Structure 1
Amino acid sequence: MRIGPSDQILNALLSNATVVLQLSLREGFEVKVSEALHHGKPVIATRAGGIPLQIQHGKSGYLVDVGDTTAVANHLYDLWTNRELYTQMSEFAKNNVSDEVGTLGNALSWLYLGSKFSKGERIKPNGRWLNDLAREEAGQPYLEGEPRLPREGLHVVG
């Protein structure tokens, strides 16, 4: 299997980065944010689109309002000058990122869909996540403290 050049470049960048910035004005669900967290890199990002689903503010990174460059600079300064803070955030990021959006989570969702569709069944999630439905049907509930994306109560802009 050959990894595409853009994946190789992203992996090299993330492996050598200290902090990752994702300062989009508008954004969907940014997989690169989850990849950065998997690499143990704190992320400073805007509260745009699906990004707030991925970052636990003050734990795995910081969420800032779109255009608030002062907050970005302050958070960068804190992470660069406070080694203990950086180490705590880096460890939290690495150990608390959800697998729901990675290869495992995507495979589970696709297998669940394929299983249902191959049997001619219709799926009506009624706002529920495919990962939740698949795990429920398999009798594999989430464990206490298992990293998951938030399901409610988010303030998402964009």
Structure 2
Amino acid sequence: MKEYFVKMRVIILGQYPLDMKKIRGGVETCIIGLVNELKKYSDIELHVITKEIMWENITKVEDNVTIHYLASPPLPRFVTIKTIDQHKTIKKIKELKPDVVHAHMTAGPGYCALKSGFPNIVTVHGITKEEYDPKIRPGLLDTIRRMVAVPMEDYVFKHAKVLTVVSYYVKKNIKPFCKGEIYIIPNGIRNEFFEIENNEIENMLLFVGGIEPRKSLLNLLKAVKIIKKEIPDVRLHIVGSVRKQRYYNSLVEYVNQNNLNDNIIFKGELSDEEVKKEFSECSVFVLPSKVESFGIVLAEAEACGKPVVASNIGGIPYVIDDNETGFLVEYGDIDGFANKILLLLNDKNLRNKIGIAGMEKAKQFSNKDIAKRYYNLYNAVIHNGKRK
């Protein structure tokens, strides 16, 4: 008698690029890596639901994955998140009738996953209340975003039965508000970061991330000014899109006023291959953030064998082992940040030693292992019949 094999239907809900050459941010990077591994499982029917600013829905089928790009009008996200986007997302989930929905982020995807009524897992990549703290984002639009997103996040924390978080820091901070189970599963690194060649250009620093106040780039520019006194040809490449124009303008003004034009280069938003080239050529990777739940770029730097100097905040200590795979500096200690960078730039053997340790550390963030953990969790959620 012929046996019939029933696949597990899984929906990944969250940011996913229309153009793989243009990857937007850490969450999107993590979802891509997870999808690339899950599609190798013969017993999974994999779907991705994402939104894209356009006028008509697009569905692509490629490499055992069906990607549903839901059209979203060119309006501020706080306008569409609880109206058009929510309606379309829940409708599509119900059409697909999944065994489990895996939502990335609370406000938006997580909220829709719970409202759909299907078994679900919500991954908390960052805490909205922190990322939209008025001290970091005081503007009117950010205030409106906070007013819309925080209640959605609160709903997810209160009603989700299974959540995953990217670091112990996130778990500790959301646990008092959650009733469900919380598992720590870090963000994964795409395999190609382990294969990037080291084409180091001496005295080259690299920052990758959005240009916004919570990344504290002004502190980094001040550190470069200190470093320049000892290493005049030090260079910092800042890779990432401008998310706050006024903040970016203040950075450019500081560069001009302090004669740092030859030392600091704003590279803008680069393609995936161009970003990898920047990783390949840097001597030290730097991240001076004030708020960071994980910092996937840190793990990517480790995978490339690059030493890191970063703020000792949030989930960063979960990724970087101080004095082993990099140096952690208390937030706001500009002199301390500059001194650690100088220590690395002046000692190639130390850079190599820390870089090797970082590559070993990064193995625990491999997408293959992360996907296996999620595969097991999907099965557990389905078999336990957990719902919203």
2:325 corresponds to 1:60: yes
TM (normalized to structure 1)? 0.69
Moved more, 7-16 or 46-55: 7-16
- Shift in Å, 1:115: 1.3
- Shift in Å, 1:98: 4.1
Alignment correspondent of 1:116: 380
Aligned residues: 120
Alignment correspondent of 1:143: none
Question: CA separation in 2, counterparts of 1:77 and 1:108?
Answer: 40
Map 1:2-151; keep pairs closer than 5 Å. 3-6=20-23, 7-99=272-364, 101-120=365-384
Question: CA separation in 2, counterparts of 1:88 and 1:53?
Answer: 20
Question: CA separation in 2, counterparts of 1:98 and 1:17?
Answer: 21
TM (normalized to structure 2)? 0.29
Question: CA separation in 2, counterparts of 1:94 and 1:28?
Answer: 21
Fraction of identical pairs, as percent: 24
Question: CA separation in 2, counterparts of 1:68 and 1:104?
Answer: 37
| Residue segments in structure 1 that go unaligned for 5+ positions in a row | 123-158
Question: CA separation in 2, counterparts of 1:3 and 1:46?
Answer: 30
The C-alpha deviation readout for 1:74-107, integer Å capped at 9, x for no partner, is 11111111122111111111122242x3312320
- Shift in Å, 1:67: 0.8
Question: CA separation in 2, counterparts of 1:81 and 1:70?
Answer: 16
Question: CA separation in 2, counterparts of 1:63 and 1:88?
Answer: 16
- Shift in Å, 1:121: 5.2
Runs of 4+ in 1 over 4 A off after TM superposition: none
- Shift in Å, 1:73: 1.0
- Shift in Å, 1:53: 0.7
The C-alpha deviation readout for 1:29-52, integer Å capped at 9, x for no partner, is 111111110000111000111001
Tell me the secondary structure at the aligned position of residue 119 of structure 1.
helix
- Shift in Å, 1:26: 0.9
Question: CA separation in 2, counterparts of 1:105 and 1:18?
Answer: 28
Question: CA separation in 1, counterparts of 2:314 and 2:323?
Answer: 19
- Shift in Å, 1:11: 1.8
Q: Would you tell me which structure has more strand in proportion to its own residues?
A: 2
Q: Using CA pairs below 8 Å that are at least 6 residues apart, which structure has the higher relative contact order?
A: 1
Tell me the secondary structure at the aligned position of residue 309 of structure 2.
strand
| Residue segments in structure 2 that go unaligned for 5+ positions in a row | 1-18, 24-271
Over the residues paired in the alignment, what is the CA RMSD in angstroms?
1.8
Tell me the secondary structure at the aligned position of residue 97 of structure 1.
helix
